[in-house]
Structure 1
Amino acid sequence: MLNDHAKLMHAVLVSGEIIGRKKLQKMIYIAKKVAFPFHERFQFHFYGPYSEELTLRVEELCNMGFLNEVKEKKGGYFQYRYSLTEPGKEFLSLNEVEMPFLQDCLVDMNDQNARFLELVSTVLYFDNLPKEEVANKVFTLKASQRYTEVEIDEAYQYIESLKGKVQ
Structure 2
Amino acid sequence: MFEAASSVLSIFSVVEKVYGRKKIQKMVHLLEAAGTRMPFKYEYHYYGPYSAELQAELNDLAQQGFLRETTHDETYVYEITDKGRKFKEKLDQFGITVAIDKELVQSMVQQSSQFLEMVSTYAFLINAGYEPGEAKNKAIELKSHLKDLVDKAISYYNEQVATRSK
Report the Cα distance in structure 1 between the residues aligned to 2:98 and 2:65, rounded to whole angstroms: 22
Amino acid at match of 1:23: K
Report the TM-score when normalising by structure 1.
Answer: 0.88
Identity %: 27
Instruction: Answer yes or no: is the 8 Å Cα contact 2:119–2:157 preserved in 1.
Output: yes
What count of residue pairs does the alignment treat as equivalent? 159
Describe the SS at the equivalent of 1:157.
helix
Instruction: Answer yes or no: is the 8 Å Cα contact 1:18–1:24 preserved in 2.
Output: yes
Match of residue 3 from structure 1? 3
Report the Cα distance in structure 2 between the residues aligned to 1:12 and 1:33, rounded to whole angstroms: 19
Instruction: Answer yes or no: is the 8 Å Cα contact 2:29–2:120 preserved in 1.
Output: yes
Match of residue 32 from structure 1? 32
- C-alpha displacement at 1:146, in angstroms? 3.9
Change (3 A) 1:103 1:166: farther
Instruction: Answer yes or no: is the 8 Å Cα contact 1:105–1:165 preserved in 2.
Output: no
In the alignment, structure 1 segments of 5+ residues that lack a partner are none
Report the Cα distance in structure 1 between the residues aligned to 2:159 and 2:139, rounded to whole angstroms: 21
> Could you give the per-residue CA deviations for residues 109-145 of structure 1, whole angstroms, max 9, x where no partner exists?
00001111000000001002122211221222112x1
Change (3 A) 1:146 1:88: closer
Change (3 A) 1:66 1:161: same
Match of residue 90 from structure 1? 86
Match of residue 14 from structure 2? 14
Describe the SS at the equivalent of 1:155.
helix
Cα RMSD of the aligned pairs, angstroms, is 1.6
Within a 5 Å distance, the mapping from 1:93-112 to structure 2 comes to 93-96=89-92, 97-99=97-99, 102-112=101-111
54-63 or 123-132, which moves further after superposition? 123-132
